[in-house]
């Protein structure tokens, strides 16, 4: 029987995108500790790879983004060292996403559950197909979500809604998640990838120095709650951006009433 895996590809239709696909449809794209380790390695390499502009997570097929870590894999955690190492891996994934000063997008179709939902919560944008479902089911097996999932959710939606969703292991639709502000857009299932590609390619046309700078500025406050560091970096960034060719092109394009061509 095949094991869940992480496929890493470069789609021709989205040049500059590194696509990470959870691939094991028969288990609804479940996760393993090996997948966690590979995510961390890939994201760390992407930090210094200038050909990577955007990282995107998705799941193989249309039934699931990811169902999280399987019960079978949880049963293999027999010692305190095993459990601590697994928890640390989850945090490593979270920190690797936050440390990447490039946009990270979750392209969700189907079930986005447990660790899969926790990974998507760390992403900068979530685009979901109609009919997708989000859930943190850990309370059903006497666990608290790891990977910072409970904390992230409570930071992004009202506290009492987050508590209810986690305590009762609620299944929440993509449409409801969109109303709560977790999902950026709910896209038609039949044209899902075309709609995602439009948004991604639009972001790729933006000046990348500014895109990466904004990610860092917002991360200090939104993720770490440190507004003082955000303001320090914002000042440095604003001055540095004014020295770039993209800034000059942006001004020229505005004056000439044309679309800017960044990155030349």
pLDDT at 241: 65
HEC assignment per residue over the chain:
CCCCEEEEECCCCCCCEEEEEEECHHHCCCECHHHHHHHHHHHHHHHCCCCCCEEEEEECCCCEEECCECHHHHCCCCCHHHHHHHHHHHHHHHHHHHHCCCCEEEEECCEEECHHHHHHHHCCEEEEECCCEEECCHHHHCCCCCCCHHHHHHHHCCHHHHHHHHHCCCCEEHHHHHHHCCCCEEECHHHHHHHHHHHHHHHHCCCHHHHHHHHHHHHHHHHCCCHHHHHHHHHHHHHHHCCCHHHHHHHHHHHHCCCCCCCC
- Mean pLDDT along residues 66-82: 79
Q: Are strands 104-108 and 54-59 parallel, antiparallel or unpaired?
A: parallel
Buried b (16+ CB within 10 A) or exposed e, 229-245: ebeeebeebeeebeeee
Residue 242: predicted pLDDT: 66
Phi-psi label, residue 198: left if phi above 0, alpha if psi -120 to 50, beta otherwise: alpha
152 vs 236, more confident: 152
**Whole-number Cα distances in Å, 52 to 16, 160, 164, 208:** 5, 38, 38, 11
pLDDT band at 2 (very low <50, low <70, confident <90, very high): confident
> Sorting pLDDT into bands at 50, 70 and 90, what band is 76?
confident
Q: Which residue has the higher pLDDT, 105 or 222?
A: 105
* pLDDT recorded at residue 251: 67
Rg (CA), the chain: 19
The mean pLDDT value for 155-179 works out to 95
Give pLDDT tens digits for 184-218.
999 999 999 999 999 999 999 999 988 998 888 88
Report the predicted TM-score, pTM, of the whole model to 2 decimal places. Answer: 0.87
> In the structure, what pLDDT confidence band is assigned to residue 237 with cuts at 50, 70 and 90?
low
8 Å CB contact between 137 and 113: yes
Q: What is the pLDDT of residue 9?
A: 98
Q: Measure the CA–CA gap between 120 and 132, rounded to whole angstroms.
A: 13
CA 128 to CA 106: how far, in whole Å? 8
Residue 17's pLDDT is 98
Q: What is the pLDDT of residues 102-161, one digit of tens each?
A: 999 999 999 999 999 999 999 999 999 999 999 999 888 888 887 778 888 988 999 999
Residue 223 pLDDT level (bands cut at 50, 70, 90) = low
Q: Residue 167 half-sphere exposure, CB side, CA atoms within 13 Å?
A: 7
Residue predicted with more confidence, 106 or 228:
106
Question: CB-hemisphere CA count at 13 Å for 153?
Answer: 25
Is pLDDT at 258 greater than 90 in this prediction? no
Per-residue model confidence as pLDDT tens digits over 11-67: 999 999 999 999 999 999 999 989 999 999 999 999 999 999 999 999 999 999 999
Residue 260 has pLDDT above 90, yes or no: no
- Going 53 to 181 to 143 to 220, the CA torsion angle's sign is positive
Which of residues 81 and 57 earns the better pLDDT score?
Answer: 57
CA distances from 111 to 41, 114, 120, 178 (A): 25, 10, 12, 15
pLDDT at 108: 98
Higher model confidence: residue 226 or residue 199? 199
């Amino acid at each position: 029987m095949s094991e869940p895996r992480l496929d890493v590809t470069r789609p021709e239709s989205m040049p500059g995108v590194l696509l990470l696909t959870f691939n094991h449809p028969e288990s609804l794209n479940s996760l393993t500790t090996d997948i966690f380790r590979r995510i961390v390695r890939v994201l760390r390499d992407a930090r210094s790879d200038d050909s990577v502009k955007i990282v995107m997570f998705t799941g193989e097929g249309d039934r699931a983004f990811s169902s999280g870590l399987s019960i079978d894999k949880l049963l293999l955690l027999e010692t305190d060292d095993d459990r601590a190492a697994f928890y640390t891996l989850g945090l490593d994934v979270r920190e690797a996403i936050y440390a990447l000063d490039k946009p990270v997008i979750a392209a969700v179709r189907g079930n986005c559950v447990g660790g899969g939902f926790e990974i998507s919560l760390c992403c900068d944008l979530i685009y979901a197909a109609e009919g997708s479902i989000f859930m943190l089911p850990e309370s059903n097996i006497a666990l608290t979500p790891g990977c910072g999932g409970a904390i992230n959710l409570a930071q992004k939606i009202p506290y009492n809604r987050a508590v209810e969703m986690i305590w009762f292991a609620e299944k929440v639709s993509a449409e409801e998640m969109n109303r709560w502000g977790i999902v950026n857009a709910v896209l038609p299932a039949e044209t899902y990838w075309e709609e995602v590609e439009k948004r991604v390619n639009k972001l790729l046309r933006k000046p990348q120095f500014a895109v990466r700078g904004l990610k860092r500025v917002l991360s200090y406050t939104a993720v770490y709650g440190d507004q003082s560091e955000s303001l320090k970096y914002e000042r440095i960034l604003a001055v540095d951006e004014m020295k770039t060719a993209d800034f000059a092109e942006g001004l020229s394009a505005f004056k000439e009433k044309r679309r800017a061509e960044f990155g030349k």
